Structure 1
Amino acid sequence: MSKVAIVTDSNSGITQKMAKELGVYVLPMSFLINGKVVREDIDITQAEFFKELEDPNVSVSTSQPAPAEVTDLWDRVLRENDEIVYIPLSSGLSNSYQTARLLAENYDGKVQVVNNQRISVTMRQSVEDAQTLRDAGWNAEQIREKLEEDKFNSSIYIMVDTLKYLKRGGRITAAAALIGSVLHIKPVLQIQGEKLDAYAKARGTKQAKKIMLDAVRKDMTGRFKDFVDKGEYTIRYSYSEGDDPEEVKEWVDEIKAAFPNDEIKGDPLSLVIGCHIGPGSLAVTINHKITV
């Protein structure tokens, strides 16, 4: 039987330490901070990243890893494995998938690049699903096909604490950001496929949390009903690493109270999302959990 390795990138929220514990491999994402390339969880921690992001005198932007970094990791992994399932960030949010797919053409099918439209904890669920399939004897191509078949079976809802970073990235106008700040508007964003989209506008954090929890409930009785009835789903939370720990705990407690019969897991939001929406962000997700 072919020995299959699962490889992802740090947009999954999986740290290098977690990767070793899970038995997977993680490619660190790159960022430009005042023109200098730094790698997530290698050259900079999440806390350090948000400190730089909040400094108005520091320029922070996302950057793709060099192709050689990708292939070097693959080559190292293939020394001890026969095949790779590579799960990068959603093609709707980055060119990482397209680049990886081109690079994989030189690997004679040994590297299967998954385009399953995920990020953060929904992407981590894909990694865990890939492990489940691998452990059941599936090969890399079969795993890729199954993950892509399942790609839209996840929802992530994110509350943005401040409009400053959306304004900085050009996603809203300065006037809209000013009005939103005065009215204490907390946008709720969603990912149910390729891209980050607007979902609702809330007046304050309390209302934003209610909107997100209600959205998950709606998914559970609607598009996810069949999975919920079979117990084939997970609910996860996420947050910006720069958040107040007490606020994060309060959010987790609220999710557990809303879904008392479910095991609730979570990780920090990936820095790619953090770069665009800033600290103070909270998220909740529901995902199909693949079983065999």
Structure 2
Amino acid sequence: MCQNMGQIHIVTDSTSDLTQEEITKNQIHVVPLSIQIDNATYTDGVDIQPEEFMEKMAVSKELPKSSQPAPGKFKEMYDELGKDGDQIISIHMTGGMSGTVESARQAAQMSESDVTVIDSRFIASGLGIQLLEAARLRDEGATLEQIIKRLEVVRDNTYLYVIVDTLDNLVKGGRIGKGRGFIGSLLNIKVIANLEGGAYNPVGKVRSHKQVVNHLFKQFLEDTAGKTVKMASISHAHGMKTMGTPLKEKIEATGYHDVRVQFTSPIVSTHTGPGAIGFVYFAE
């Protein structure tokens, strides 16, 4: 069968929480962020892995800093992939938490290639599901327009919650004030936030891990009532024992057995600190 159109290439950053195997199998191209910790700079997912990063962060005096890729890095990738006239769709972590998508947009304007940049409005598996869906459609022969339309549907039906176990990193990162952080840790408060509109919004505070699990499970049941769950995923920074596993067991008891579990990227865990989980699901 002769194809009268070029290929569609998928580009992303290093925050999708997809496995290396999934990235390779789906031919997804990654432009990684970098992370500075104790005066050393690492390339996310290349020369530092999530668990090793957690160990370094635990003993670091200062909060690690993540940096978006320079536009030049994206431009190199776009120029190479698009040199034969192929189309490129570049899908990234929410612009509400990082300048990565903006960097990609600048590069798309500088490149001669045909690039469409998309703000996923999510992080972690919320971005990952959009990449997998884009790859599935591309492999089925969908056009770029069809993929873009479908991603809008996926975005509108994806829910993401982040639960922070300790407020230390949020205080260090200036996301909440010291006084509030101190009181929060005294009271052992767990903050539940969603990513509505692509930014971090606290939506609830509870006092125990068990309450977190119950809150999330109740939310999951409400949001997916009468729908088919297409994906459920737990990303964590050493938060499985306290919250991730009990939540996974509750979801499996409903008959959905494909809950993905993965360690989250340093870019996410530097904001949340240790013990956090991210819970993402997509239903339609």
Whether TM exceeds 0.5 here: the answer is yes
| 1:104 pairs with 2:108 | yes
The superposition leaves residues 1-33 of structure 1 with CA deviations (integer Å, 9 ceiling, x where unpaired) of 321111111111124444113322222211122
Seen in structure 2, the aligned counterparts of structure 1 residues 261 and 67 have a Cα distance that, compared at 3 Å, is closer
Identify which range, 149-158 or 36-45, moves more after superposition.
149-158
Corresponding residue number in structure 2 for 1:237: 234
Residue 264 of structure 1 corresponds to which residue in structure 2? 259
Q: Where do residues 35-54 of structure 1 align in structure 2 (5 Å cutoff)?
A: 35-54=39-58
Letter of the aligned partner of 1:238 in structure 2?
S
**Aligned pair in 2 of structure 1 residues 81, 47: CA closer, same or farther (>3 Å)?**
farther
Q: Quote the offset at 1:116 in angstroms.
A: 2.8
Partner of 1:60: 64
User: Hey, what does 1:5 align to over in structure 2?
Assistant: 9
Secondary structure of the 2:198 match is coil
Aligned-partner Cα distance in 2 for 1:109–1:120: 27
- Percent of aligned pairs with the same amino acid: 27
Give the counterpart letter for 2:255 in structure 1. P
In the alignment, which residue of structure 2 is the partner of 1:281?
276
Amino acid at match of 2:173: G
Of 280-289 and 111-120, the range deviating more from structure 2: 280-289
Contact 1:9 1:27 (C-alpha < 8 Å) held by counterparts: yes
Counterparts of 1:141 and 1:59, CA distance in 2: 41
TM-score by length of 1: 0.86
Tell me the TM-score normalised to structure 2 length.
0.88
Amino acid at match of 1:46: P
**C-alpha distance in 1, partners of 2:84/2:275?**
41
Structure 2 Cα separation of the partners of residues 141 and 108 of structure 1? 20
What RMSD over aligned residues (CA atoms) do the two structures have, in Å?
Answer: 2.4
Deviation of residue 153 (structure 1)?
2.2
Give 5+ residue unaligned stretches, structure 1. none
Residues 80 and 275 of structure 1, relative CA distance in 2, 3 Å threshold: farther
Q: 1:15 to 1:39 in 2, by over 3 A?
A: farther
Q: Distance in 2 between matches of 1:118 and 1:69?
A: 22
The worse-fitting range, judged by mean Cα deviation, of 35-44 and 193-202 is: 35-44
| Aligned partners of 2:213 and 2:246 also within 8 Å | no
Q: CA deviation at 1:198?
A: 0.3
Paired position in structure 2 for 1:34? 38
Structure 1 residue 246: Cα displacement: 8.2
Letter in 2 for 1:179: I
Could you list the runs of 5+ residues in structure 2 that have no partner in the other structure? none
Deviation by residue 1:190-209 (Cα, 9 ceiling, x = unmatched): 11331111011011111111
Q: In the alignment, which residue of structure 1 is the partner of 2:181?
A: 177
Q: Which residue of 1 aligns with 2:165?
A: 161
CA distances 1:41-73 after superposition (whole Å, capped 9, x unpaired): 112111121112222424411111122222222
Corresponding residue of 1:117 = 121
Q: Residue 274 of structure 2: SS of its match in structure 1?
A: coil
Return the letter of the residue paired with 1:40: D
User: What is the alpha-carbon distance in structure 1 between the residues aligned to residue 56 and residue 113 of structure 2?
Assistant: 41
Partner Cα distance (1:219, 1:128) in 2: 22
